[in-house]
A = this chain, B = another copy of it.
Amino acid sequence: MTWIQKDLRLKPRKRGFHLITNEVLSAIPEIRDMKIGLLNIFIRHTSASLTINENADPDVRIDMESYFSHSVPENSSFYTHTIEGPDDMPAHIKASVIGPSLNIPVRNGSLHLGTWQGIYMNEHRNYGGMRELVLTLTGEKNER
């Protein structure tokens, strides 16, 4: 039984949906030693989020940003939490629609993702700054 917890600080990114699979894998190489397990990825912020989506065509990430910014508009008349700017309350809403964490199965030393799945960090603020993730890996190690 293994428990490993790592911090991953992501450099500031522009508003939008960003593929971070390789950064996650580099931050927790101990995945390679696991036979069966789970990786929890948690973002410690309320205006950014994590999801899994298509890892190939970058147009998917562009369309995700377009859709969510359309469906959660800025400057809705009913917003009252507006002092941090027009992108703030929509960012909080998107964070709850998409969610703050992922739980991905680990098998035989790899994340057991589908062929087309990649890990996204979604920056919902115009200038969100550095984002902190926590990676928690638990499971059974390979016998050697």
Interface residues of A (CB under 8 A from B): 1, 3-5, 36-38, 40, 42-46, 51-54, 57, 59-60, 62-64, 66-67, 70-72, 76, 78-81, 89, 92-93, 95-105, 107, 112-117, 120, 132, 134, 136, 138-140
Query: Which residue of chain B has its CB nearest to the CB of A134?
Result: B105
A44 and B96 in contact (CB under 8 A), knowing A5-B36, A78-B70, A80-B62?
no
7 more contacts with CB within 8 A, not counting A64-B96, A71-B71, A107-B134, are A36-B136, A45-B116, A53-B92, A67-B89, A71-B72, A97-B98, A99-B99
- Each complex incorporates copies of this chain amounting to 3
Query: Which residue of chain B has its CB nearest to the CB of A60?
Result: B81
B44 touches A114 (CB 8 A): yes
On chain B, the residues within 8 Å of A114 by CB distance are 43-46, 132
